[in-house]
Amino acid sequence: MQLWIARLDAVNHTVGMGVRWFALLMVLLQFAVVLLRYVFGISFIFLNEGVLYMHAALFMLGAGYTLLADAHVRVDIFYSRFAKRGRAVIDLAAALGFLLPSLLMLLWFTWPSVRNSWAVLEGPISVGGIPASFLLKSLIPAFCILLIVQGLAGMLRDLLSLLEKRKSA
């Protein structure tokens, strides 16, 4: 089971290491947009949309890595008081009761829109923008899949933790 957990974790680790560069590229592109507009008096809509695309990709594709790093927002009223076993039970219940159902529902209801967008190769958001809205919409299922992968890894890790505790008891 450890091998499967490591493989699932590796997916989001790899994606996270790749998309982190979008933060730097986004800052550099935004700097270029400001420089072009206020120093040279010119503006390109596709550059502004480039910042938007990178921002969306950073957050949507980085969500699985955030879950891997346990850096997501958690309402920590009781969680910190529990032992490792109690935390594993809470995490497993939350993944089964909230994370997976909500992601599967989001995937189910957004897929037709993404499919239709790809079917017509949907164009830019604004006139003169990046002619690839279908790529932007594709971030939604990618977000869902990456979070499902990490959710499964976490569930396996919690299950393994609970099984180890049971064997030692």
Q: Mind listing the pLDDT tens digit for each residue in 3-42?
A: 999 999 999 999 999 999 999 999 999 999 999 999 999 9
Rounded-to-5 percentages of helix, strand, coil across the chain: 80, 0, 20
Q: Which of 62, 45, 26, 67 shows the shortest CA–CA distance to 139?
A: 62
Among 12, 6, 51, which residue's Cα sits nearest to residue 33?
A: 51
pLDDT level of residue 76 (50, 70, 90 thresholds): confident
Question: pLDDT higher for 71 or 74?
Answer: 71
Selection from 56, 63, 71 nearest residue 150 by Cα: 63
Distance between CA atoms of residues 144 and 66, nearest Å: 13
CA nearest to 125, candidates 42, 61, 45: 45
Between CA 71 and CA 150 the distance in angstroms is: 13
Are 71 and 77 within 8 A, CB to CB?
A: no
Task: For the chain, give the mean pLDDT.
Answer: 94
Place 167 in a pLDDT band, splitting at 50, 70 and 90. Answer: low
Q: Please say whether the beta carbons of 5 and 153 come within 8 A.
A: yes
Q: Would you state the structure tokens that stand for residue 61, as one six-digit string?
A: 């594709």
The mean per-residue pLDDT over the stretch 131-139 comes to 97
Predicted pLDDT of residue 72: 85
Determine the straight-line distance between the first and last CA of the chain, rounded to whole angstroms.
21
Q: What is the pLDDT of residue 56?
A: 97
DSSP 8-state code for residue 95: I
